[in-house]
């Protein structure tokens, strides 16, 4: 199930993550990265604010995607060479919720739905270009469900949030 998109104003959202370039499909890279970030957080006594996150920096599916894989945190922290500390900027975001399995095309279909809705509503994304590549300044998926505790994939919840250009 995919909800109707909406626009909402959001505050700056801090997170810690591993920044990496991954090929499509990239699912096999997620859990090891989340595990590493989580262990680093526990070692440094940093509490996640509860949500796993993937931040998309580039989205050209014909190449490797530049993404951040980590967890949201409630305040700015200091990262390392391996674990970055960063934030999604404050601003207006187009959002929607996807309920369903992480495997398969569900989240992809939710992304397409959000992109098509934005096109129909003449919404421009907050992106920039670096060396001929489009970079997103705020595009993320927030994972509300942990498959380790929620065993029914039909109950998994993911929020997509894309920063709108002002």
Question: 94 in a domain, yes or no?
Answer: yes
Question: In angstroms, what CA-CA distances link 122 with 102, 108, 115, 159?
Answer: 29, 21, 10, 21
Q: Which domain holds residue 28?
A: 6-163
How many separate domains does the chain show? 1
Q: Over the stretch 22-78, which tens digit does the pLDDT of each residue have?
A: 998 888 999 999 999 999 999 999 988 878 999 999 998 788 999 999 999 999 999
Q: How many residues does the chain have?
A: 166
Average pLDDT taken over every residue of the chain:
93
d(CA 99, CA 122) in angstroms, rounded, equals 26
CATH number at residue 45: 3.20.80.10
Question: 1 in a domain, yes or no?
Answer: no
Question: 99 in a domain, yes or no?
Answer: yes
Confidence of residue 92 (pLDDT cuts 50, 70, 90): very high
pLDDT surpassing 80 at residue 101 = yes
Task: Report phi then psi at 56, rounded to 5.
Answer: -95, 120
Question: 12 in a domain, yes or no?
Answer: yes
Question: 45 in a domain, yes or no?
Answer: yes
Question: 24 in a domain, yes or no?
Answer: yes
Q: Over the stretch 65-77, which tens digit does the pLDDT of each residue have?
A: 999 999 999 999 9
Question: 110 in a domain, yes or no?
Answer: yes
Q: What is the CB neighbour count within 10 angstroms for residue 137? A: 15
Helix (H, G, I), strand (E, B) or coil at 90: coil
Question: 112 in a domain, yes or no?
Answer: yes
For the four alpha carbons of 21, 37, 35 and 94, in that order, the dihedral sign comes to negative
């Amino acid at each position: 199930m995919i909800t109707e998109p909406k626009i909402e104003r959001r505050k700056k959202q801090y997170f810690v993550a591993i920044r990496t370039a991954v090929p499509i499909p990239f699912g096999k890279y997620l859990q090891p990265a989340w595990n590493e970030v989580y262990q680093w957080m526990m070692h440094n006594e940093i509490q996640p604010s509860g949500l796993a996150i993937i931040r998309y920096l580039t989205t050209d599916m014909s190449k490797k995607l530049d993404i951040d894989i980590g967890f949201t945190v409630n305040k700015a922290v200091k990262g390392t060479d391996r674990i970055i500390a960063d934030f999604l900027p404050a601003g207006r975001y187009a959002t929607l919720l996807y309920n369903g399995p992480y495997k398969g095309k569900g989240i992809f279909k939710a992304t397409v739905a959000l992109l098509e809705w934005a096109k129909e509503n003449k919404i421009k994304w907050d992106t920039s270009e670096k060396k001929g590549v489009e970079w997103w300044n705020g595009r993320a998926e927030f994972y509300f469900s942990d498959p380790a505790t929620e065993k029914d994939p039909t109950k998994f919840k993911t929020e997509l949030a894309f920063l709108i250009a002002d």
